[in-house]
């Protein structure tokens, strides 16, 4: 009998301990609340996936598939971009359909291919959830609603900035040993012969424009990009120019994930016509081959790898 009683007590402690182990920390601000929501499957129709299912932290909040799988393993139509370094962006998604991070945050939740949960139902779930009802009251002093849900998710994403890479050590801290001689030559190529800087510049190596790089041919490559939003023929095949920080972690590349490696991307830009002949439109910057040597390609790739933040290098050691 004594053994049975001790066993019951032990089981009780295990159950209580498990409850404490899985209790969410109480968020103190919108960022902490947004971080919890970002990883919580409560925002999907099946309660099985979350924002973090496709935006994986270890891959700079991108995915490793050409396109991600949503609820019921529904296949997406575009590659999942990184959700990092977005604070200075002017628009969001490959086609620029959202003008603010707040608008962007809600679209995947309601998208039937992705999380498939109407926003009204998502809000109702949060209102009925004891933890989130209290959390939203503490942070926003009101019940969960569409606006503060979007605000919390957006505020968390705004913290996902990276400025501590080997490149930053070299250029900002004058540490000549931070990057290799090859990477330094690659930076020169990036700003010169490679023409990369024409579209990728500034702190995050991005641009607010939409450009066509020749990945719409009207035959096999049928994603019209920006034109699907604006309905303008001039926007056929144009896509948003994203940041290059942490680019070495976010393969595969392009809006359709068609290139598996950085080298494939560099080979494409070196001579686009060889890989996608006769596109409907292609930016004039890509009208002629770059004629990069294999060594120059190595250098350019080594430079791009210096844009990886140290937080990821530390986790992979």
Q: Which residues are catalytic?
A: 114
Which distant-in-sequence residues (6+ apart) come within 8 Å of 157 by Cβ?
A: 34, 38, 83, 86, 101, 105
Q: Assess contact for 107 and 93: CB atoms under 8 A.
A: yes
Question: Based on C-alpha coordinates, what's the Rg of the chain?
Answer: 23
Angle, vertex CA 238, rays to CA 234 and CA 243, nearest 5: 145
Strand, coil or helix: what is 142? Answer: coil
Angle, vertex CA 241, rays to CA 269 and CA 301, nearest 5: 40
Determine the Cα–Cα distance for residues 60 and 261; give it in Å rounded to an integer. 16
Strand, coil or helix: what is 238? Answer: strand
Chain position carrying tokens 């999380």: 115
Q: Catalogue the E-assigned strands of 91-220.
A: 210-211
Q: Tokens for 282?
A: 């292609």
Q: Catalogue the E-assigned strands of the chain.
A: 210-211, 239-240
């Amino acid at each position: 009998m004594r053994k049975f009683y001790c066993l019951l007590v032990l089981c009780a402690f295990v159950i209580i301990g498990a409850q404490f182990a899985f209790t969410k920390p109480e968020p103190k601000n919108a960022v902490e609340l947004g971080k919890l929501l970002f990883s919580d499957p409560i925002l999907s129709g099946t309660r099985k996936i979350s924002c973090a299912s496709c935006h994986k932290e270890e891959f700079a909040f991108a995915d490793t598939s050409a396109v991600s799988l949503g609820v019921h393993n529904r296949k997406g139509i575009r590659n999942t971009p990184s959700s990092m370094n977005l604070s200075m962006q002017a628009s969001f998604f490959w086609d620029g359909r959202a003008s603010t991070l707040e608008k962007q945050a809600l679209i995947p939740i309601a998208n039937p291919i992705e999380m498939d949960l109407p926003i009204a139902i998502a809000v109702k779930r949060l209102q009925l959830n004891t933890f989130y009802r209290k959390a939203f009251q503490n942070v926003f002093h009101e019940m969960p609603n569409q606006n503060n849900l979007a605000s919390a998710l957006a505020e968390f994403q705004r913290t996902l900035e990276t400025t501590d890479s080997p490149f930053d050590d070299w250029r900002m801290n004058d540490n000549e040993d931070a990057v290799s001689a090859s990477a330094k030559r690659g930076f020169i190529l990036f700003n010169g012969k490679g023409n990369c800087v024409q579209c990728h510049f500034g702190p995050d190596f991005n641009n607010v424009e939409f450009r066509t790089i020749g990945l719409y041919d009207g035959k096999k490559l049928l994603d019209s990009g920006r034109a699907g939003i604006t309905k303008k023929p001039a926007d056929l095949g144009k896509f948003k120019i994203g940041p290059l920080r942490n680019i070495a972690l976010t393969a595969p590349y392009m809006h359709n994930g068609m290139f598996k490696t950085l080298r494939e991307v560099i080979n494409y830009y070196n001579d686009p016509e060889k890989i996608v002949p006769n596109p409907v439109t292609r930016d004039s910057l890509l009208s002629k081959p770059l004629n990069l040597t294999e060594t120059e390609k190595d250098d350019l790739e080594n430079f791009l790898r210096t844009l990886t933040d140290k937080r990821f290098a530390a986790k992979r050691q």
